[in-house]
């Protein structure tokens, strides 16, 4: 099994375990606005009900972010795991120091915590595999002020 297949297996297993353990504490759903990351190229690999877990949707997306890209400030209502395929993934979480994840590393995003993602490289794109479990009826991302 190659490195990307092993990484995908670990991401899926971790997400299923987090969802089954109740790690998806839902926030109030009023006034939520789905957030689309500007400049990102997104390819959805799977988006379907999570087998064996009531009212949860599993989504796996492949993202390519251009050089210099900065996403909007947002949060998630369920568990999110980001595996860096290529490049460096820079994270600014509210109240924490900036962190940088490189190819082969996994970022576990805290539920409900506002954050902003960036590709600070001025020349190379950033490629990510994002696995998340979302309560049914909730957006994948919620814009944060």
CATH 3.30.420.240 fits 3-143, yes or no: no
Instruction: Measure the CA–CA gap between 139 and 22, rounded to whole angstroms.
Output: 18
pLDDT tens column, 92-145: 998 899 999 999 999 999 999 999 999 999 999 999 999 999 999 999 889 987
Characterize the bridge pairing of strands 88-93 and 74-75.
Answer: unpaired
Distance between CA 130 and CA 81 in Å, rounded?
6
The length of the chain, given as a count of residues: 145
- pLDDT higher than 70, residue 17: no
Give the number of other Cβ atoms within 10 Å of residue 68's Cβ: 14
Domains of the chain by residue range: 3-143
Q: What pTM did the predictor assign?
A: 0.75
Angle at 129 between CA 106 and CA 100, to 5 degrees: 40
């Amino acid at each position: 099994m190659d490195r990307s297949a092993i990484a995908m297996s670990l991401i899926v297993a971790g997400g299923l375990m987090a969802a089954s353990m109740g790690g998806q504490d839902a926030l109030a759903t009023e006034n939520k606005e789905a957030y689309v990351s500007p400049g990102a190229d997104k390819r959805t690999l799977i988006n379907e009900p999570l087998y064996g877990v009531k009212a949860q949707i599993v989504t796996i997306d492949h993202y390519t972010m251009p050089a210099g890209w900065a996403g909007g400030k947002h949060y998630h209502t369920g568990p999110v795991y980001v595996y860096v395929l290529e490049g460096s993934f820079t994270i600014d979480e509210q109240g924490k120091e900036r962190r940088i994840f490189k190819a082969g590393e996994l970022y576990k995003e805290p539920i409900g915590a506002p954050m902003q993602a960036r590709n600070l490289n001025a020349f190379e794109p950033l490629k990510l595999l994002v696995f998340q479990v979302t309560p049914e009826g909730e957006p994948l991302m919620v814009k944060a002020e």
